[in-house]
């Protein structure tokens, strides 16, 4: 029998005078090299009013937004192309999804082995560029600027390789993602089970058809996107007037943009007693970013029109819960998931909503879900809205 040596030795303290080890951060180095304006925050009342700085190679001005989280899985580029302007051609080994905030224009894409092809976009368009494909953006107006956001997974990619030339000047062609298909950005799509819509271009996201999403409550509808073969997975959700969704949590980095609706808000908190709860008011074009994996967030429509928001995010928002068809964010806390059911939410949540909806001249329609609701019974399914 081999006997283990259980004698413990205490490690010696390093000699005084040695320098502290400093790890290279490839993403922060890239930001410094770009010289672009940077915001580190999770709430922006209006994407149209974010102050930008010079970002000439993007065709005008821009800024980079990232959440105050050292393990952030993504970031957001806000870019405004000047009237009649265009960006410099680029390609890179990180994914990105565009959402057009204002204006109109076109994008040209190509590879070293395929001819150039172009597609047009306007405010409300959503599209994704295939990995490492060359692209160039053009403003279609000679009088008005065009503004878009692009949510990317650049931070982890740049931190993994720590080599900007490898990320930005790599010649490899991912033919399984794009090989010159002429209808790649035609706007056509295919619907799969569980509300999955596969398409590389959504011409007008605020008006596209959505499908029943009863798990989140109150007559909500939803669609999940598969775009350009990306790992990034985006979705759009809509809920009726006078209703709100169930509180839930998942991994960080979901960028929530109000694509339609007149008024509403999000509540976010991490502590059980909600002593750190923050209220983020909405208007068209507001953006709220989920800052950490233990952040509960809940969305409320207190306006007089249906509210629709776009969630731009990474593919993996957290571990799956056993017995759930998807992520645990749609499974009750009582069953080991990350969603707070209506009957389990604190009374204060609904009281805040009733005050807000009264201030906006609408009627609360949560009586079918909240026993102490003073409003009326609202939608039990998407057909009742």
Q: Distance between terminal CA atoms of the chain? A: 74
Question: What confidence score (pLDDT) does residue 318 get?
Answer: 52
Tell me if domain 26-168 and domain 190-379 are identical in fold.
yes
Query: Read out DSSP for 42-99?
Result: SEES-GGG---EEEGGGTEEEEEEE-S-TT---EEEEEEEPTT-BPPPB--SS-EEEE
Q: Model confidence over 314-350: pLDDT tens digits?
A: 876 554 444 444 456 778 888 888 899 999 999 999 9
26-168 carries CATH number 1.10.3720.10: no
Q: What is the dihedral of CA 10, 16, 18, 20, to 10 degrees?
A: 70
Domain segments of the chain as ranges: 26-168, 190-379
Question: What confidence score (pLDDT) does residue 6 get?
Answer: 47
Question: What confidence score (pLDDT) does residue 327 get?
Answer: 58
158 vs 10: which has the higher pLDDT:
158
Spatial separation of the C-alpha atoms in residues 363 and 26, rounded to whole Å: 51
Q: Model confidence over 253-303: pLDDT tens digits?
A: 999 999 999 899 999 999 999 999 999 999 999 999 998 878 999 999 999
Q: Which residues make beta-bridge pairs with 50? A: none
Question: What confidence score (pLDDT) does residue 219 get?
Answer: 81
- Give the 3-state secondary structure of residue 118: strand
Q: Model confidence over 134-176: pLDDT tens digits?
A: 999 999 999 999 999 999 999 999 999 999 999 999 999 999 9
Question: What confidence score (pLDDT) does residue 3 get?
Answer: 46
Tokens of 6: 């259980």
pLDDT value at 82 more than 80: yes
Spatial separation of the C-alpha atoms in residues 295 and 252, rounded to whole Å: 8
Rounded average pLDDT over 64-70: 86
Write down the mean pLDDT value for the chain.
89
pLDDT band at 21; cut points 50, 70, 90? confident
Spatial separation of the C-alpha atoms in residues 326 and 318, rounded to whole Å: 10
Structurally, at CATH architecture level, domain 190-379 sits in Sandwich (2.60)
Spatial separation of the C-alpha atoms in residues 45 and 64, rounded to whole Å: 16
Torsions phi, psi of 382, nearest 5? -65, -20
pLDDT value at 237 more than 60: yes
Question: What confidence score (pLDDT) does residue 302 get?
Answer: 93
Question: What confidence score (pLDDT) does residue 69 get?
Answer: 73
Rounded average pLDDT over 241-250: 92
């Amino acid at each position: 029998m081999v006997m283990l040596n259980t004698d413990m030795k205490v490690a010696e303290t390093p000699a005084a005078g040695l320098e502290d080890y400093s790890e290279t951060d490839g993403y922060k180095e890239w930001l410094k090299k770009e010289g672009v304006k940077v915001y580190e925050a999770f709430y922006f009342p209006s994407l149209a009013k974010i102050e930008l700085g010079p970002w000439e190679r993007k065709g005008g001005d821009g800024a980079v937004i990232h959440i105050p989280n050292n393990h952030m899985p993504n970031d957001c580029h806000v870019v405004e192309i000047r009237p009649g302007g265009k960006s410099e051609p680029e390609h890179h080994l990180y994914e990105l999804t565009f959402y057009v905030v204002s204006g109109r224009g076109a994008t040209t894409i190509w590879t070293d082995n395929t001819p150039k092809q172009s597609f047009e976009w306007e405010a409300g368009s959503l599209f994704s560029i295939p990995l490492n494909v060359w692209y160039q953006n053009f403003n279609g107006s000679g009088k008005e600027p065009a503004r878009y956001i692009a949510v990317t997974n650049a931070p982890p990619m740049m931190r993994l390789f720590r080599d900007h030339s490898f990320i930005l000047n790599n010649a490899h062609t991912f033919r399984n993602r794009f090989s010159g298909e002429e209808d790649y950005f035609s706007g056509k799509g295919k619907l799969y089970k569980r509300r999955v819509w596969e398409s590389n271009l959504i011409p007008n996201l605020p008006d596209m058809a959505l499908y029943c999403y009863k798990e989140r409550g109150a007559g909500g509808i939803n669609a999940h996107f598969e775009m350009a073969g990306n790992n990034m997975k985006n979705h759009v959700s809509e809920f009726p007037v006078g209703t709100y969704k169930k509180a839930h949590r998942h991994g960080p980095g979901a960028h929530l943009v109000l694509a339609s609706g007149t008024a509403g808000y999000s509540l976010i908190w991490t502590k059980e007693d909600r002593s750190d709860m923050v209220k983020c008011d909405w208007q068209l074009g507001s953006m709220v970013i989920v800052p950490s994996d233990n952040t509960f967030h809940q969305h409320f429509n207190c306006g007089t029109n249906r509210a629709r928001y776009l969630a731009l995010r990474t593919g993996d928002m957290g571990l799956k819960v056993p017995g759930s068809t998807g992520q645990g964010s749609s499974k009750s806390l009582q069953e080991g998931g990350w969603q707070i059911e209506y009957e389990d939410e604190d009374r204060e949540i609904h009281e805040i909503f009733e005050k807000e909806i009264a201030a906006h001249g609408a009627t609360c329609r949560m009586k079918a879900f909240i026993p102490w609701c003073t409003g009326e019974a609202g939608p039990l399914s998407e057909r009742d809205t």
